[in-house]
Amino acid sequence: MEFDESWRKDPHGLYLKPNGLPNCDMGMSGYWFRFSGDAGSRLADSCRPDGSCGTNIAIWSDDVMPTQAGEEKSITAYASYTQRCKW
């Protein structure tokens, strides 16, 4: 899956949402995904406030991300929801 929409890039927790409504990416569990283009090139690296990144539940990780093209690495991703950062 590739995410390239500009509303996904929310470095300041500005509660950006497409068409004023939160987005729900269904069925992402177990899939590879990448951020590119207007969405930026990386997953958030710290907990985001509720409603950030254009969604009700923002996904983030504090693991060190790969730095080389083609490098594969398993990371732990968290959901921030109802003021809980590691849901």
Paired sense of beta strands 78-80 and 58-60, if any: antiparallel
pLDDT tier, 62 (very low <50, low <70, confident <90, very high otherwise): very high
For the question of whether the overall pTM of this predicted structure is more than 0.85, the answer is no
- The pLDDT mean for the chain works out to 79
Q: What is the mean pLDDT of residues 70-85?
A: 85
How far apart, in whole angstroms, are the C-alpha atoms of residue 51 and residue 47?
A: 12
- Give per-residue pLDDT as tens, 33-58: 788 898 888 788 888 877 777 777 78
Which has more pLDDT, 40 or 87? 40
- How far apart are alpha carbons 86 and 41 in whole angstroms? 22
Supply the pLDDT for residue 31: 72
